[in-house]
Amino acid sequence: MQITAQTVKELRERTGAGMMECKKALTENAGDIDTAAEWLRKQGLAKADKKASRVAAEGRIAMARHAGKAVLVEINSETDFVAKDENFVKFTDEVARTALSSGARDVEALKSEKTSYGPTVEEARAWLIAKVGENVQVRRMAHVDSSHAVAAYVHGARIGVLVELKGGNDELARGIAMHIAAMNPPYNKASDVPAAFIAKEKEIELAKMSEKDRSKPEPILEKIISGKIAKIVNENTLYGQPYVLNTEQTVEAALKAAGAEVLQFQRLAVGEGIEKVVEDYAAEVMKQAGLA
């Protein structure tokens, strides 16, 4: 049995696995490329299963777009070191391109889609785990498909934003996307703010007021509370916030001047909502030494 450099190269191109992994796979499977590829897949899935319970809160946001279509995908790793690894970066970019070209609308559907180099996203993820030695998860995705202006903005591979803008132009859409990345508004317009949120804020503002203020006539008290609530709503809505590219006007004013309207926006931030495990190495060493 002879394993040639050409055979190893062919297996690498097919699977995306490393040279040594491909050589080992061919050696274990008598040089048969098809069997070796399946063997690599099984090895990768086995390692992926073992690491699946480990917290992956680092990673990057990858983006792909074409015309009025754009996608963002959050892919997590355990450490920032792996998030910057060349293999991880290539994988995330490929997943984003696959999401765009396949039209997948959620992560579960995306996992079964084939990448441009052959394996599915899930198979490629398993092989990557075997290569980098960390848990890797395709966690979330966002997408927009519109005949209107679409902006896709990624800041430092950590925050990604999609904006669908009716009217205006691409430059304004990108400016709004940059604003959303920086300010992270929970809602678009005042009309989007839930009634439960308003009720809770009113309750909080009343509790903060002095007994003297709470005893004021109902119309005056309502006016005071309404003013405070209006300020809170502005702080929590895209339209009400000062525009980061021109803080002398609100986002609403900037949109109105351009005859534009934000139809929707989506924002992803790496690790958002994941509880990270904080390792206290000093305490661990002391514990092992019997000092704690």
pTM value?
Answer: 0.77
DSSP letter, residue 192: G
Whether 215 and 201 have beta carbons less than 8 Å apart is answered as no
Output the pLDDT for position 45.
47
- Looking at this protein, which amino acid is placed at residue 188? N
The pLDDT mean for the chain works out to: 88
Nearest-angstrom CA–CA distance, 116 and 50: 27
Give the pLDDT band (50/70/90) at residue 52.
Answer: low
Q: What confidence score (pLDDT) does residue 288 get? A: 53
Residue 95, Cα to own-chain centre: how many angstroms? 12
Confidence of residue 53 (pLDDT cuts 50, 70, 90): low
For the ranges 11-25, 122-136, 195-209, 222-236, the lowest mean pLDDT is seen at: 11-25
Sheet containing strand 159-166, edge to edge, reads 149-155, 159-166, 261-269
State residue 70 phi and psi, 5-degree precision.
Answer: -155, 145
Q: What is the pLDDT of residue 176?
A: 97
Residue 56 has pLDDT above 80, yes or no: no
Angle at 25 between CA 22 and CA 27, to 5 degrees: 110
Q: Is the pLDDT of residue 46 over 50?
A: no
Helix, strand, or coil (residue 167): coil
The Cα–Cα gap between 214 and 207 comes to 9
Confidence of residue 30 (pLDDT cuts 50, 70, 90): confident
Q: How much of the chain exceeds pLDDT 90, in percent?
A: 61
For residue 279, give every residue at least 6 positions away whose Cβ sits within 8 Å of its Cβ, in sequence order, or none.
Answer: none
Banded pLDDT at 85 (limits 50, 70, 90) = very high
Give 286's pLDDT tier (boundaries 50, 70, 90): low
Q: Tens digits of per-residue pLDDT, 237-270? A: 999 999 999 999 999 999 999 999 999 999 999 9
Give the pLDDT of residue 229: 94
Domains and CATH numbers, the chain: 5-51 (1.10.8.10), 58-186+265-269 (3.30.479.20), 190-247 (no CATH)
Encode pLDDT of 112-160 as tens digits.
Answer: 999 998 899 999 998 898 888 888 999 999 999 999 999 999 999 999 9
Percent of the chain predicted with pLDDT > 70? 87
Is the Cβ–Cβ distance between 164 and 263 less than 8 Å?
Answer: yes
Alpha carbons 103 and 48: distance in angstroms, whole number: 26
**Is a pLDDT exceeding 70 seen at residue 43?**
no
> Per-residue pLDDT averaged across 227-245, rounded?
96
Of 101, 98, 104, 95, the C-alpha closest to 76 is: 95
